Structure formats: C-alpha cells, structure tokens
Amino acid sequence: MTLRAGRVMDTDWSSTWPRIAVVGASAVGAYFGARLARAGAPVLMVGRKPFVEAVQRDGLTIEGGSEPLHLQVPVSTELSACREAELVLFCVKTVDTLSTARALEPYLSTDTVLLTMQNGVESVEQIRTIVRCNAIAAAVYVAVAVSGPGHIRHFGRGDLVLGSDLAARQVAALCRRSGIPCRISDDIRGELWSKLLMNCALNALSALGRSDYGHIIAFPPAYSLIEAVVDELLQVARAAGIRLPGLASTEQAMAAVTRLVAQMPAQHSSMAQDLVRGRRTEIDALNGYVQRRGAELGVQTAANQVLFTLVKLAETAATST
C-alpha cells in the first residue's frame, strides 16, 4: 500500500492503480468514480438499493457534458465491500458524515486514504476523530444531478483542488492519469472556505427561489442578498484567521461568484434537489455553519441566519410530508 499517515510507501499511483471504493455513489461520487473506472482503475461503488439495482441491470450512465459515459462497475449496498479499498472517495451528504464514518471505520486499514469530497469545511476534522486511516479533503467543483437510478446528468466543470501533503499529491497523480483536472494548493483550508463561500452564496437561494444560478445572479435583489452573505462570510473568515485565496474583498468574491455562475448558469443547487425529494439538506454545514462560527467570534451574520432559518423551515415542511 502507498500511504500511511501522510508518508509515501512503495507504490506510485501515477503508474499503479489502487483499489478504489466510492462511498455515497450519488451524483458527485458516481461522476468521479465513473471517470476513474473509465481510465482503468478498479472502482467499487456503494450506494442505495435503487442505484445498485439499476447499475447491476443497466450499467451506469453519465449524460451531458463533453464526455458521456456508459459503463459497468461493481456496486454494493454494504459498507463491508470497502474492506480491501486503498482509496475511499467519501461522498455522502454532510448530514450523514458521522454515522457513515462510524459504520465504515471497521472496514478501513490504517493505510487507507480517505478523500472527503463533501461541501462545508468541517467534515475532514470530524472524520479524523473516528477513523484510523489518513483522511484528507478536496474542494470539489462539478455541476451534476441524479436524473434517475444509475443515471447522472453532468452540466459543467468536474475539477478538484487538493492539499499539498504527500497523500494529496498521490491522489492528484491518480486524477491526472484519469483525465480529471486537479490543482494542488498549499492552503487547502482556505480553498475549502472558498468553496463554502460559493455554496453559501448560491445554494439556499436556488432552493428557496426554485431558480437556476443564472436567474439568481441576474435578479438585483438576489444579487444584493448574495453580496451580504459573502461579506459576512469574509468577516467570519478574517476573525478566524483564515485567508481565502484570491478573495480578500467582497468585490473579488462577488466577481468569483459571477464567474462560477457563467460556467453553469442553468444549474440548480443540490440543496434545491434535496428539498424537492423531501430530504434533509446541508444547510447546517453551509450558512448554518457561518452563523454558528460568527456567533463564536462575535461577528454578525444576519443574512446567513435568514437563509439558514428559511431553508430549515422549508426542510421541515418537505421532510414531514
């Protein structure tokens, strides 16, 4: 095995495929797992029963984008299937982070690398309190949605930002072999906060307004609300001693949000998709996190609090029907 506690052993993932398990094979997990499998990596996907049955019967389909895919991949509903994995892509929703990590831990070795591919900034630290293996984080930029069991729709992007430690560099080498764009950063915490900023700016408004990103950014009252959300998040980050690369001011951050929207204007947030399906959302890890961290640091976060409250109300209504 290659990695343990961040040090290189005797295998180079730029030339040898590790055994890979995708935990939480929904939109993000299935998309990246499919890219790795297509390149030749041995990939197993763990997902819900409808996904597993559909893929066993018809294969996995990635629609849209520049590279549509259809392939057969091993699937399972059981976390025990991850027992031999050398690399785990941890892609469950943040509401399931702790319970899934606890259930998965008995099947991980101390040499396993677990890559969290989740929203928010807390997951990797939470996971490290539970698992014995080397857990690292990625900032994930991809627009995907589940269009049916075993069918994923790709709308745009599909790139990762990883840290600069040895484990992350090995994963980056694996991504390059698979054609997955991947950037190395010396400040992965700042990168995760940059992604948090994008999610806090757009996800709740997309869910509450039932709007795609393009319509949100073009609506002046929504733009002003995004500006307030972004400004509060930057204040919280500064109070916490965190630097967001290239996003030192509200003006820079709003320009970055606008550029992101231009890359995927027709996209609805995963939070909007969760509300439609009557599922719990990730609002606690996004605007809710900014609100909680702001309260700890003495920073006012009224705009984030409003979005958090409204999504929680909508979530309660959606999950009780």
Burial degree of 285 (CB within 10 A; 0-12, 13-18, 19+): buried
CA nearest neighbour of 189 among 223, 165, 155: 165
* Number of other residues whose CB lies within 10 A of the CB of residue 137: 27
CA nearest neighbour of 111 among 129, 89, 133: 133
Tens of pLDDT, residues 224-267: 999 999 999 999 999 999 999 999 999 999 999 999 999 889 88
Within this chain, do residues 177 and 245 fall inside the same structural domain, yes or no?
no
Residue 146 is inside which H or E element, if any?
A: strand 134-148
38 domain residue, yes or no: yes
Count of domains forming the chain: 2
Within this chain, do residues 270 and 211 fall inside the same structural domain, yes or no?
yes
Residue 156 bridge partners (DSSP): 143
The secondary structure of residue 120, as a DSSP letter, is: S
Tell me which residue range forms the domain holding 211: 189-316
**Within 13 A of 164's CA, how many CA atoms are on the CB side?**
6
Within this chain, do residues 177 and 242 fall inside the same structural domain, yes or no?
no
The secondary structure of residue 118, as a DSSP letter, is: -
Per-residue confidence (pLDDT) for residue 94, from 0 to 100: 96
17 domain residue, yes or no: yes
Q: Given the structure tokens 């949100």, which residue do they identify?
A: 216
Within this chain, do residues 249 and 309 fall inside the same structural domain, yes or no?
yes
Tell whether pTM > 0.75: yes
Tens of pLDDT, residues 108-131: 999 999 999 999 999 999 999 999
Q: Given the structure tokens 């609506």, which residue do they identify?
A: 219
